[in-house]
Amino acid sequence: MAPGRRRHRRGGDERAPKTKTSSRRKEATAGPATSVHDIPDHVLELIFLRLDSCASVVRAASACRRWCHLLAGAAFASRFGSLPLLAGHYHTVHNFFDRSLAASRATPVFVPSPGMAGVDPRHFSLDFLPDSTSWELADSRGGLLLLFKKSTAQASWSWTGYRYLPDQLVVCEPSTRRHQGILSPPYLKGKCIGLFLPHGDGDDGSGGRRIGMSNFRILAVLHEFKPWVYGHIGPVACAFSSGCDGGWRVLPESAAAFDGDATVPDRVEQISFAGRVGGSAYWAIGQEHGASMLVLDVATAAFSVVTFPEHLVRSHDRHNFRVISGEDGGLRVVRLLDNELKVFGRRHGSDEWVLQNHVRLPEATRGLPGHEDRFFRQNAAIIVAAEETHVVVTPQEKTWPFSVDLETMEVERALERNKYAGTVFPYELPWPPAVLMTCAERGRSRRTRR
């Protein structure tokens, strides 16, 4: 190599020497190191809104004081209030399936949801109610339960069938163990086909103000045929409102909204409760041609009648069909006939009903603990309870509940829900939970002392 000639790297990869100026410029471009504590509050709220359960939110609140204050604040509560805060389900024991003395004295049993694993179910016991074994569960909404006094004379009928409006009702909040008793007025003595907890006064159902012991309402649906009293022939909705200005009243708007061209059977035995989807309740009603559903908008107390294909709904076999919610919020029908369970749904954008899934129960249940072939020989199986994801079924020969997953149509008996042959009611924790508010209060007290 000739003297004085500079040697170049191959490929032209010669780099300029590093200087202090270039290092400072690189540090300014990269920015300071960040952590999870540098995330703005509004972004954290969006992250917390994607948590799968109320229990996960409570766990996140225990991570640090900042997260606790954010989760317990009014801004997050207003957004989180519209999301489901499912704590679990109350399972009832229906004496249609179990006529034992123990079943007649049984109280609803709370089963925590998977997100509440580890929670002691005894915290949700109804033993704080007076004469706690004499109440039957009618409905649930948010953190409240609606119960009515059991009647010995009509013990074989569920409220979802028909009975007179119970003399005594009670609304309770298991998380706080508060309750309020309500007496039915003597002028409301028609056959009762439904008891519901609609949105409370001042609660729009969108999370603005959640239903509580101070603003709850009760809706009683009577099968009434006295036009000279209420001005129409058909069902009547009566409402009870809490508070000093509350009480019972007949809702004339329910009669005005009823379709006068449609009819409902004059015999209450021909009306069968089919389920509740979203904000509406459904009853199957027998018609001369085809089958129909009586539909009640629980929020507005407005009635309507909707026609269904006859092979989907039959009012005389109330334990063989249910209406449930689909994944998109639409309506689905679960039909059980001759031991074959079928799921029907509406085709998107039309009123056409299509078969979505089906399973033969005698073959699908073979191999389950306690299975016997005789269970499905004489009488067909019947539906005990139905939810969006599954139904609970039992043979008529023997109370042997098992559940069917409506997506996979697989059957199983191992889960806790299969121990109870009765209607199921979801229960949500009031928001924000007391443990969250306690955490936030402690943080505020520390700052005050400083």
349 CB-near residues (< 8 Å, 6+ apart)? none
Counting Cα atoms < 13 Å in the Cβ hemisphere of 256 gives: 5
Q: Global pTM? A: 0.75
Residues 6+ apart with CB under 8 A from 64: none
Longest C-alpha distance within the chain, in Å?
122
- Assigned token pair, 411: 């059957």
Q: Which two tokens stand for residue 13?
A: 């990869």
pLDDT of residue 339: 92
- Tokens 């799968």 map to which residue? 52
Of 341, 339, 331, 361, nearest to 406 by C-alpha is: 341
Distance in angstroms (rounded) separating the CA atoms of residues 171 and 200: 12
CB-count burial class (<10 Å; 0-12, 13-18, 19+) for 447? exposed
Sheet with 86-91, side-by-side order of all strands: 109-112, 86-91, 424-428
CA distance 391 to 401: 10
Q: How far apart are CA 175 and CA 178, in angstroms?
A: 8
pLDDT of residue 347: 80
Place of tokens 């059957």: 411
- CA neighbours closer than 13 Å in the CB half-sphere of residue 86: 14
Tens digit of each residue's pLDDT, the chain (450 residues): 555 555 555 554 555 555 555 555 555 555 566 777 788 888 888 888 887 666 677 677 777 888 888 887 777 766 665 555 678 889 887 655 554 544 445 678 888 887 666 667 778 899 999 988 889 899 998 889 999 987 654 444 444 455 778 889 999 999 889 999 999 888 777 788 899 998 755 554 444 456 788 889 999 998 875 554 555 567 888 999 987 667 898 887 666 555 455 567 777 777 888 899 888 999 888 665 457 888 998 888 888 888 888 778 765 677 788 999 987 778 899 999 889 999 999 887 777 889 999 999 999 999 999 999 899 988 889 898 898 889 999 998 888 889 999 999 999 988 877 887 778 898 887 666 655 555 555 555 555 444
The CB density around residue 347, as the number of other CB atoms within 10 Å, is: 9
